[in-house]
């Protein structure tokens, strides 16, 4: 087999060919305009744009669309590529949503490890005061890369869960637009390559990229802007696809209020991704244009009279947070959906208040659009805005509370068992509780004036993101692993993983909050030992390494169990959901015949009830 | 051992859980106050911040205890016993409960909005008996007084309301003295303000709290809070020094 028969390899070659062509185009245009040949801002921007297109073209994600323009038929090819080993389909364009789901999920997991490793590097530096091995410039680059790589990993992890599960859960053959689905996955890859290249030059603003700082630093910023633009494009196209799929491809009998609850979470998430993402794409493009073309959007510029004829730095902060606050709900709503999905299975009880949980996801998504200003309490915008955003932010606590109490109602009176996925679900609730409860203290503006940009905020958002994404993501991996591979993971290793990671995380986030109240600023390469935070920092670093070690155990477990794990059978968890009524691993065409929904999804304990009728399908 | 009732809706469960939640709230509240020592205590504006923070801590302790105690209790009492293959009790929800746990948080939100509003007013209020302008740039500070005195350290008289005007010349910075409480960003192109009435004599650190590039971590300056006569003496001496410099130029 030739290496270049892998789409990924061709794509990478296409990327670098495109990079060279793009740079050449810029050089030639500049010469034609009588300018100096090389300008690194313009050169790199041209290069990156062509490189991304080059990748997408060479990987083959545009091929069918080109054929359509010429009126050529493009029938679907099902199954692994002919004449090549089955694994190769994961490295090339493939339209099957299960393949794309795995591609998303695995890429997301790899990025999680990479982003985590960046954090371990600078956590080691922070373990004691004094600069030991990371110079402040490198420190800032690692810190900033940690953030965006971790956020990308979350977006891809969410994409993985959504793409794999949503069509299965609604009994659909595939997503509504399979080619768009493949495009939305693959655009992430050149974006991530671009993000990695930024490290060669460095950048130092943190993920928020506030101007004017982000307008001044090295050219690495340009790569960040375009990388995030690419990942954002993926979010927009992917969520569009998911919304259409859920609205138009449900089987007979599945009303919206009979969808598995995870689908509701993805529905709410997709609304945010489809709309809010455009704002950050726009904001980052404006930064790029201000840098390379000198358009004064954000940087103030004074004329001879001292009047500002330039831009407004606060404008960027508004645009940025108008996406980035709703985005935090993109990170957590799917995870909260996983919690709601798993609890009834392991409690053998109906989901308490299905409709309330479903609608609370929508409520969180919608209120989430009105609160962005709580990230700007200290920014110097109008005083009265602080009050407005304080109230709207506090309101988010209401639908969030509905979820917690409904989960308790689901557990109450069940027959609870505690395999690894259930443990991670419960761990997620405990961690998200820490994160959620530390939210209102930041929402009342007065306390935030003290806590903003301190380690308290770092503790807050790590707890929300771990409780709302990482723990549920791990729960989902352990839970659906038998469905994906056909084999069980190792339960003992899974439990060790849980019992290392969960206490490790509690210690880490509480210690971060402690450091914050003691006056530790966030995003600093070194701190003053006079603050008295040194022991706290050591604790945070140790906890961080414990968490990292436990994740290594998980990786080992997942790899070895795929070979030696016990055969799982169709439905090891005795779930009512349709994807568990078909063989594991799921066949190429998931459902041999269309399914019909004949009952409620979570009627555990109601004798004689079923959720789906399979019409004699399944085992063939 | 106490014999627990079988039915999940038996009153007895709720009495036990209620008692446990109460105990856990008290324990957790004191634990959180111990591990979250708010360092802001040396200005008039810091007081309301600390007060509101501690009020939050008690609410957090209660809500955390409520959820976690209920959860742990359920995990223990409703775990599946060996040889019990029955399913859980079949109830799909309870509209009354859902309304209750929507409305009570809503009331709490309204109460906290009101308290938050008042506290915010107290924290951002203050006079301007002393005025000083702090200018932040990569990566240091200078301080300008209305009488023309320019200084590398900030000096303020104790217990006098000060109005600090903030200006950045390059990128966004943020002015923060941990012991005083509130912070305020400095934004190029506009002037922002911070009211502080320091209540403790001593030396503190002004730090930049908004990531501003390479040496952000080290963008610090000294602030001295001194008795009023000392402040006047310092000011006079500074003026004299500056006049000598002017004259010799
Ligand atoms: C649902 C999951 C949540 C996530 C993922 C989340 C995430 C975050 C993140 C990432 C930040 C830091 C942004 C930065 O400064 O760089 C943040 C700050 C903040 N969060 Fe959350 N949050 C969540 C829930 C909440 C809730 C429920 C509240 C309030 C009721 C809240 C209130 C705040 C406030 C006020 C800030 C600004 C703090 C500051 O920058 O000083 N958050 N959150
Ligand atoms: Cu937010
Ligand atoms: Cu600064």
User: Looking at the domain assignment, is residue B211 inside a domain?
Assistant: yes
Residues A477-516 pLDDT 10s: 999 999 999 999 999 999 999 999 999 999 999 999 999 9
B114 contacts in chain A (CB < 8 Å): none
User: Looking at the domain assignment, is residue B202 inside a domain?
Assistant: yes
3-state secondary structure of A515: helix
CA distance A524 to A229: 27
Query: Which residues in chain B (39-68) have CB-CB distances under 8 A to chain A?
Result: 39-40, 46, 48-49, 52-53, 56-57, 59-60, 63-64, 67-68
One domain, residues B65 and B162 = no
Q: Looking at the complex, does the CB of residue B25 fall below 8 Å from at least one CB of chain A? A: no
Question: At B229, is the pLDDT very low, low, confident or very high (cuts 50, 70, 90)?
Answer: very high
User: Looking at the domain assignment, is residue B85 inside a domain?
Assistant: no
CA distance B220 to A440: 30
Query: Within 13 A of A440's CA, how many CA atoms are on the CB side?
Result: 32
The angle at the Cα of B122, spanning B120 to B128, to the nearest 5 degrees, equals 120
Of A348, A394, A517, the CB nearest to B37: A517
Which part of chain A has CATH 1.20.210.10? 94-301+308-614
CATH number for the domain spanning B186: value is 2.60.40.420
Provide the number of CB pairs (under 8 Å) joining chain A to chain B: 278
Q: Looking at the complex, does the CB of residue B207 fall below 8 Å from at least one CB of chain A? A: yes
Q: Which of A388, A447, A522 is nearest to B124 (CA)?
A: A447
Of A310, A443, A449, the CB nearest to B123: A449
One domain, residues B138 and B238 = yes
pLDDT of residue A619: 44
CA distance A347 to A343: 6
Last residue of a domain, one of B91, B124, B157: B124
A67 φ/ψ sector (left φ>0, alpha ψ -120 to 50, else beta): alpha
A445 contacts in chain B (CB < 8 Å): 116, 120
Domain that holds residue B116: 11-77+99-124
One domain, residues B221 and B144 = yes
Distance in Å, CA B113 to ligand 1 centroid: 17
Q: Which of A98-112, A295-309, A528-542 has the lowest mean pLDDT?
A: A295-309
- The nearest CA of chain B is from the CA of A201 a distance in Å of 14
Among protein residues, the one with the nearest Cα to ligand 1's atom 11 is A461
CA distance A549 to A20: 41
- For A64, residues 6+ apart whose C-beta sits below 8 A from its C-beta are A74, A179
One domain, residues B17 and B49 = yes
pLDDT of residue A423: 98
β-sheet bridge partners, residue A21: none
Pure H helices in A444-517: 445-451, 455-465, 471-485, 491-517
CA distance A424 to A418: 9
One domain, residues B191 and B164 = yes
CB contact under 8 Å between B36 and A454, yes or no, is: no
One domain, residues B153 and B208 = yes
Question: At A618, is the pLDDT very low, low, confident or very high (cuts 50, 70, 90)?
Answer: very low
CA distance A320 to A129: 33
Distance in Å, CA B215 to ligand 3 centroid: 8
Residues B158-206 pLDDT 10s: 999 999 999 999 999 999 999 999 999 999 999 999 999 999 999 999 9
pLDDT of residue B90: 83
**Overall average pLDDT of the A519-542 stretch:** 94
Q: Which residues of A567-594 are buried (b: 16+ CB within 10 A; e: fewer)?
A: ebebbbbebbbbbbbbbbebeeebbeee
Q: Looking at the complex, does the CB of residue B106 fall below 8 Å from at least one CB of chain A? A: yes
User: Looking at the domain assignment, is residue B178 inside a domain?
Assistant: yes
Of A353, A380, A390, the CB nearest to B185: A380
How many domains, chain B?
2
User: Looking at the domain assignment, is residue B88 inside a domain?
Assistant: no
- Is pLDDT of A28 > 90? yes
One domain, residues B194 and B103 = no
Q: Alpha-carbon torsion B218, B211, A456, A474, what sign? A: negative
Q: Which of A423, A428, A567, A568 is nearest to A497 (CA)?
A: A423
**Overall average pLDDT of the B53-65 stretch:** 97
- State whether the beta carbon of A319 lies less than 6 angstroms from ligand 1: no
- State whether the beta carbon of A331 lies less than 6 angstroms from ligand 1: yes
B54 contacts in chain A (CB < 8 Å): none
- The nearest CA of chain B is from the CA of A106 a distance in Å of 33
One domain, residues B119 and B30 = yes
One domain, residues B144 and B229 = yes
Contacts within 8 Å (CB) and 24+ apart, B223-226? B223/B153, B223/B154, B223/B155, B223/B156, B223/B177, B224/B153, B224/B154, B224/B155, B224/B156, B225/B42, B225/B155, B225/B156, B225/B157, B225/B158, B225/B198, B225/B200, B225/B201, B226/B155, B226/B156, B226/B157, B226/B158, B226/B201
User: Looking at the domain assignment, is residue B55 inside a domain?
Assistant: yes
B179 contacts in chain A (CB < 8 Å): 519
Residues A235-288 pLDDT 10s: 999 999 999 999 999 999 999 999 999 999 999 999 999 999 999 999 999 999
Residues A186-199 pLDDT 10s: 999 999 999 999 99
Which ligand is closest to the CA of A465, given by its number? 1
Whether B246 and B208 have beta carbons less than 8 Å apart is answered as: no
Query: Which residues in chain B (137-166) have CB-CB distances under 8 A to chain A?
Result: none
pLDDT of residue A616: 54
One domain, residues B146 and B105 = no
One domain, residues B137 and B216 = yes
Question: At B2, is the pLDDT very low, low, confident or very high (cuts 50, 70, 90)?
Answer: low
pLDDT > 90: what percent of chain A? 89
Query: Within 13 A of A361's CA, how many CA atoms are on the CB side?
Result: 29
Parallel, antiparallel or unpaired: strands B162-168 and B173-176:
unpaired
Distance in Å, CA B220 to ligand 3 centroid: 9
Q: Which of B156, B183, B208 is nearest to B40 (CA)?
A: B183
Q: What is the DSSP letter of A466?
A: I
Q: What is the fold of A94-301+308-614?
A: Cytochrome C Oxidase; Chain A (1.20.210)
Among protein residues, the one with the nearest Cα to ligand 1's atom 8 is A461
Residues A142-186 pLDDT 10s: 999 999 999 999 999 999 999 999 999 999 999 999 999 999 999
CB contact under 8 Å between B184 and A380, yes or no, is: yes
pLDDT > 70: what percent of chain A? 99
β-sheet bridge partners, residue A404: none
A468 Cα nearest atom in ligand 1: 2
One domain, residues B176 and B118 = no
Residue A315 vs residue A308, higher pLDDT? A315
Whether A324 and A280 have beta carbons less than 8 Å apart is answered as: yes
């Amino acid at each position: 087999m030739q290496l270049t028969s892998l789409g990924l390899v061709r794509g990478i070659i296409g990327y670098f060919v495109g990079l060279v062509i793009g740079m050449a185009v810029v050089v030639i245009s500049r010469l034609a305009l009588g300018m100096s040949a090389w300008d690194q801002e313009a050169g790199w921007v041209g290069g990156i744009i062509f490189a991304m297109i080059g990748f997408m073209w060479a990987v083959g994600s545009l091929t069918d669309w080109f054929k359509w323009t010429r009126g050529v038929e493009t029938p679907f090819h099902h199954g692994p590529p002919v004449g090549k080993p089955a694994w190769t389909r994961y490295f090339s364009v493939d339209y099957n949503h299960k393949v794309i789901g795995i591609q998303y999920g695995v890429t997301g997991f790899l990025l999680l490890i990479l982003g985590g490793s960046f954090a371990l590097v600078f956590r080691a530096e922070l373990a004691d005061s004094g600069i030991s091995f990371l110079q402040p410039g490198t420190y800032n680059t690692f810190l900033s890369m940690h953030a965006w790589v971790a956020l990308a990993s979350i977006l891809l992890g969410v994409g993985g869960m959504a793409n794999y599960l949503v069509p299965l859960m609604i009994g659909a053959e595939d997503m509504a637009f399979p080619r768009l689905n493949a495009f939305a996955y693959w655009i992430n890859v050149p974006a991530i390559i671009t993000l990695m290249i930024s490290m060669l030059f460095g950048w130092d603003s943190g993920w928020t990229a506030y101007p004017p700082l982000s307008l001044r630093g090295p050219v690495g910023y340009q790569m960040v802007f375009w990388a995030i633009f690419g990942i954002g494009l993926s979010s927009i196209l992917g969520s569009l696809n998911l919304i259409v799929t859920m609205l138009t491809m449900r089987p007979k009998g599945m009303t919206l209020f009979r969808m598995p609850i995870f689908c509701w979470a993805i529905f709410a998430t997709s609304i945010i991704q489809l709309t809010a993402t455009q704002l950050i794409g726009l904001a980052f493009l404006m930064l790029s244009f201000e840098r390379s073309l000198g358009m004064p959007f954000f940087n103030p510029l004074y004329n001879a009279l001292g009047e500002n004829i330039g831009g407004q730095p606060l404008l960027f902060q508004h645009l940025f947070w108008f996406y980035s606050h709703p985005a935090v709900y993109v990170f957590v709503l799917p995870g909260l959906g996983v919690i709601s999905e798993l609890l009834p299975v392991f409690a053998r009880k109906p989901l308490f208040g299905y409709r309330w949980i479903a609608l609370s996801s929508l409520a969180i998504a919608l209120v989430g659009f009105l609160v962005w200003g709580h990230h700007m309490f200290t920014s110097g915008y109008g005083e009265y805005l602080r009050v407005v955003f304080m109230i709207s932010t506090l309101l988010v606590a209401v639908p969030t509370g509905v979820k917690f109490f409904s989960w308790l109602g689901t557990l109450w009176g069940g027959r609870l068992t505690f395999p690894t996925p259930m443990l991670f679900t419960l761990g997620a609730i405990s961690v998200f509780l820490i994160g959620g409860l530390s939210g209102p203290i930041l929402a009342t503006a007065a306390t935030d004036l003290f806590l903003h940009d301190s380690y308290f905020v770092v503790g807050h958002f790590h707890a929300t993101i771990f409780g709302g994404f990482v723990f549920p993501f791990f729960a989902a991996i352990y839970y659906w692993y038998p469905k994906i591979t056909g084999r069980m993971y190792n339960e003992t290793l899974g439990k060790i993983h849980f019992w290392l990671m969960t206490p490790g995380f509690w210690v880490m986030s509480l210690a971060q909050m402690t450091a914050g109240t003691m006056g530790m600023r966030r995003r600093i390469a070194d701190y003053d030992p006079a603050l008295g935070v040194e022991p706290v920092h050591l604790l945070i670093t140790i906890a961080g390494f414990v968490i990292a070690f436990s994740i290594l155990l998980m990786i080992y477990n997942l790899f070895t169990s795929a070979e030696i794990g016990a055969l799982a059978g169709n439905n090891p968890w005795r779930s009512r959901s349709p994807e568990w009524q078909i063989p594991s691993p799921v066949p190429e065409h998931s459902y041999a015949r269309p399914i019909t929904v004949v009952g409620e999804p979570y009627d555990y304990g109601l004798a004689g009830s079923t959720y789906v009728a399979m019409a004699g399908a399944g085992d063939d | 051992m106490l014999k627990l009732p079988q039915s999940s809706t038996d009153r007895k469960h709720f009495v036990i859980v209620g008692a446990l939640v109460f105990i856990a709230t008290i324990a957790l509240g004191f634990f959180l106050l111990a591990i979250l020592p708010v360092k802001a205590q040396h200005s008039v504006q810091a007081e309301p911040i600390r007060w509101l923070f501690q009020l939050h801590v008690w609410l957090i302790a209660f809500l955390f205890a409520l959820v976690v105690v209920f959860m742990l209790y359920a995990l223990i009492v409703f775990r599946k016993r060996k040889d019990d293959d029955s399913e859980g009790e079949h109830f799909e929800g309870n509209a009354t409960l859902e309304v209750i746990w929507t409305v009570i948080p809503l009331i709490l939100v309204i109460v906290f909005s009101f308290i938050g509003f008042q506290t915010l007013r107290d924290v951002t209020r203050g006079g301007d008996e002393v005025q000083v302008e702090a200018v932040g740039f990569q990566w240091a500070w200078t301080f300008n007084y209305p009488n023309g005195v320019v200084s590398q350290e900030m000096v303020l008289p104790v217990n006098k309301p000060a109005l600090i005007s903030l200006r950045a010349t390059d990128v966004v910075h943020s002015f923060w003295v941990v012991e005083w409480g509130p912070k305020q960003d400095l934004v190029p192109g506009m002037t922002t303000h911070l009211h502080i009435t320091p209540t403790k004599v001593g030396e503190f650190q002004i730090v930049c709290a908004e990531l501003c590039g390479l040496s952000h971590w080290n963008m610090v300056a000294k602030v001295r809070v001194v008795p009023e006569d000392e402040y006047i003496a310092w000011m006079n001496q500074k003026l004299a020094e500056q006049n000598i410099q002017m004259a010799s130029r």
